Amino acid sequence: MAFNFTPLIDVFMLLTIFFMLVARFTSAEQLAMLLPDPPDSLARVSRMPERVVINCRVNESQGGPDAVVYSLGPNPPETLGGISDHLAALQQQSPHIKVVIRADRRLRFEHVRAAMHAVARNNIEVLHVAAIAEERG
């Protein structure tokens, strides 16, 4: 009795098409554009995000583990002071905000700790640190 691979291939193809479409939609959401800002608008203010991601990366142009670049999500790099100001504004608008710190493994922990201190200074109570667990062979 042979195993029928046809349903398995169908499901695989549908999932592949689905993830290809989703990837295109998420990249389209990150386009930079100038939105209108009417002075007397009656529109409701959109909800603030429930989660903010702080990226800590190695600055490839300077190289080395001491050349660090911080950014909020996909935004351009900025100083930790600027990120702290953004976090303070987000904390005012959404008191239950969560922060995720993603750090390049080549960075020294002192740079990640500096980002953690920026979160703590703004009294944000929920902090997650993203890490990849290495597989042991």
Q: What is the pLDDT of residues 80-137, one digit of tens each?
A: 999 999 999 988 888 888 999 998 888 888 988 999 999 999 988 888 887 665 555 5
**Confidence band (pLDDT; 50, 70, 90) for 43?**
low
What's the total number of domains in the chain? Answer: 1
Asked whether residue 25 is assigned to any structural domain, the reply reads no
3-state secondary structure of 116: helix
Cα 76 from Cα 116, distance rounded (Å): 19
Q: What is the pLDDT of residue 131?
A: 66
Residues 114, 80 contacting (CB under 8 angstroms): yes
Residues 47, 97 contacting (CB under 8 angstroms): no
Residue with tokens 């695989």: 12
Asked whether residue 59 is assigned to any structural domain, the reply reads yes
Structure pTM? 0.59
Q: What are the residues whose beta carbons fall under 8 Å from the beta carbon of 116, sequence distance 6 or more? A: 101, 127, 129
Cα 59 from Cα 77, distance rounded (Å): 10
For the segment 29-50, the average pLDDT, to the nearest whole number, is 65
Residue 122's CATH number? 3.30.420.270
3-state secondary structure of 17: helix
102 is in which domain, residue-wise? 51-130
Asked whether residue 100 is assigned to any structural domain, the reply reads yes
Sheet holding 68-72, edge to edge: 68-72, 51-58, 98-103, 126-130
Asked whether residue 22 is assigned to any structural domain, the reply reads no
Asked whether residue 26 is assigned to any structural domain, the reply reads no
Asked whether residue 135 is assigned to any structural domain, the reply reads no
Asked whether residue 105 is assigned to any structural domain, the reply reads yes
Helices and strands (H and E) in the chain: how many: 3, 4
